[in-house]
Amino acid sequence: MSTIISNPVESSVAGENAYQQAGRKRLLLVSYHFPPVGGAGVQRPVKFVKYLRRFGWDVSVLMAANPSVPVFDNSLLVDIPEETHLEKARTWEPNYTLKKNMGNQNHTGQSSSSLLAPIKSSCRKLVKAGAGLILQPDAQILWYPNALKAGKKLLNNLQHDAILATAPPYSNLILASKLKQKFHLPLIADFRDEWDLSSKYLENHQQDAISNLIQTRLQRSVMRHSDAIVATTQASTQRLLDRAHQFGTDVTGRCIYNGFDRDDFEFLDEAGQQSQKHNCQKRFRIVYTGTLWNLTTVEPLVKAIESLHQESPNLLSRLELQFIGRKTPEQLALLERINQTKSTLITEDYCSHHEALKKMAAADALCLLLSDVEGADRVAPAKLFEYLAINREILSITPTGETANILKDFWPTGNFQAHDTAGMVNWLKGRLLGNSSTGIINSENINQFNREHQAGQLADLLNQLVMNHV
């Protein structure tokens, strides 16, 4: 029978003791994305690698040598212990810039003025659809052949005790499943996002019946070969266990939330940031970090700002909004509507993780967005936990669900559903008039989201699987 494990983990003292003991174990982490690759999805595997060693586990990482990704962040390299074994395998994917340029060709004026433009556009769409149908479960399957060879060589030459694959991309899980079958090691499938939700909402994802059938078969195979499933919310963990049961397998499940690392905040000069804020009180600054797309739409906030503009346009001259991260064309169009008001809009495509933390610390409030769509109630954005740790007021626009429940434990005010435009307007009006929040509550409970604690949870699960595997 499927179970969700929620055993408590001892403090870092226990971790240090485990680190000093003999008989250390080794984990193979399969992660296509790994530093110097940047982005929010890299944080989780990096922090596991950083802290697992304190709980008696050394880590080897199987990663892409030439990842086709939009951003790199060298600041993340500091978290990787020197003794970490990095096994790199080349992918056959084209360079990300080339992929992006090919995708943007339809929008160039040169193409639109050509008489052959409609034919070229149709051909590109056919090629894109064909590639999407072939490259299952995702484009990173082009990494699979070389990565499988590298993984086999590594496991033959160096003894490992378990395998963990983190997804997306879901090709990581396919690869790890194949390695598990050959080497008979315990396998943990770590779902940063549910497979079915990603298939439904990710941009450019194939939605046809054939692709859905292939994805279902691949997911069934992975779950049948996994010894444990890990997810980032309680609800998501239960949903994945239910899915595994539908596939005829009963596995162990554990929720290990995303979190924050105290070390990442040491470089922040709290007093300096506060001084900066007090010197800039002409404007109330709201900062959003992360991708804006269909699962994190900014539309409810834009509507609230537009409503306040109709009511008190001059008041908005005190509002500054910063959006840091990638934005889809649809979300950029929504942000452009803010420019029609008297508020100040600042956008930035990407900055390093450390720079993002500095911008958060200099904010008056942090914005958290989650679209009111099916399945969003089981999602907790990774940025939520750094928002909590940095101790700035949070303006959240989310549906009822796990994220809303977590926020109510720490910031009971400032939480709105997408349809509550009036509530958001009143909140904005109050802050722009100088009314401050009551502050965070239950701050002592935030440590449950500490990355070291979460690595301890993972080590505990790994130890159980290894013990049962012997």
**DSSP-assigned states of every residue in 354-384:** HHHHHHHHT-SEEEEE---STTGGG---THH
**How confident is the model at residue 333, as a pLDDT?**
97
Alpha-carbon distances, residue 253 vs 4, 51, 219, 230 (angstroms): 4, 21, 16, 6
Crossing angle between the packed helical segments 209-225 and 171-183, to the nearest 10 degrees: 40
Extract the tokens encoding 9: 């983990």
pLDDT digits (tens, 9 = 90+) for 21-60: 458 999 999 999 999 999 889 999 999 999 999 999 999 9
Phi-psi region of 281 (alpha: psi -120 to 50; beta: other; left: phi over 0): alpha
- d(CA 86, CA 58) in angstroms, rounded, equals 12
CA dist 353 → 5, 73, 262, 388 (Å)? 31, 7, 14, 16
Specify the CATH number for 262-448; select among 3.30.360.10, 3.40.50.2000, 1.20.840.10, 3.90.45.10: 3.40.50.2000
Q: Which residues contact 102 (CB under 8 A, 6 or more apart)?
A: 124
Residue whose C-alpha is closest to residue 321's, from 381, 272, 270, 364: 364
Max CA-CA distance within the chain?
72
DSSP class of residue 93 equals: P
At residue 23, the pLDDT reads 85
Render pLDDT for 304-359 as a digit per residue (tens, 0 to 9): 999 999 999 999 999 999 999 999 999 999 999 999 999 999 999 989 999 999 99
Strand-strand pairing, 162-167 and 25-30: parallel
Point out the least confidently predicted range of 36-40, 119-123, 184-188, 437-441.
119-123
- Does position 272 have pLDDT exceeding 50, yes or no? no
Residue 224 has pLDDT above 60, yes or no: yes
Strands of the sheet with 228-231, listed across from one edge: 3-5, 252-255, 228-231, 187-191, 162-167, 25-30, 57-64, 85-89
pLDDT of 254 higher than 80 = yes
CATH code given to domain 3-99+135-259+451-469 = 3.40.50.2000
Q: What is the pLDDT of residue 14?
A: 44
Enter the tokens of residue 143. Answer: 């990494």
- Which range has the worst mean pLDDT, 102-106, 264-268, 336-340, 388-392? 102-106
Quick one: CA dihedral 165, 166, 172, 173, positive or negative? positive
* ω into 36 cis (within 30 of 0): yes
Q: Which residues neighbour 153 within 8 Å (Cβ) at sequence distance 6 or greater?
A: none
Answer whether 368's CB lies under 8 Å from 396's CB.
yes
What digits encode the pLDDT tens for the residues 155-182?
999 999 999 999 999 999 999 999 999 9
What's the length of the chain? 470
- Name the residue type at position 166: T
Task: Tell me the pLDDT of the chain averaged across its residues.
Answer: 88
Give the 3-state DSSP-derived string for 136-179, with helices as H, strands as E and coil as C. CCCHHHHHHHHHHHHHHHHHHHCCCCEEEEEECCCHHHHHHHHH
pLDDT at 108 (0 to 100): 45
pLDDT digits (tens, 9 = 90+) for 400-427: 999 999 999 999 999 999 999 999 999 9
Alpha carbons 187 and 465: distance in angstroms, whole number: 9
* Residue 459 contacts residue 257 (beta carbons within 8 Å): no
Q: Give 72 or 18, the one with higher predicted confidence.
A: 72
For 351, phi and psi rounded to 5 degrees?
-140, 165
Q: What is the predicted pLDDT for the residue at 270?
A: 54
Domain ranges for the chain, please list them.
Answer: 3-99+135-259+451-469, 262-448
pLDDT at residue 98 in the model: 72
Mean pLDDT for 212-220 is: 94
* Segment 89-147, tens digit of pLDDT: 999 999 877 766 655 554 444 444 556 667 656 566 655 555 666 889 999 999 999 99
| pLDDT > 90 in the chain, percent | 77
Distance CA 451, CA 301 (A): 31
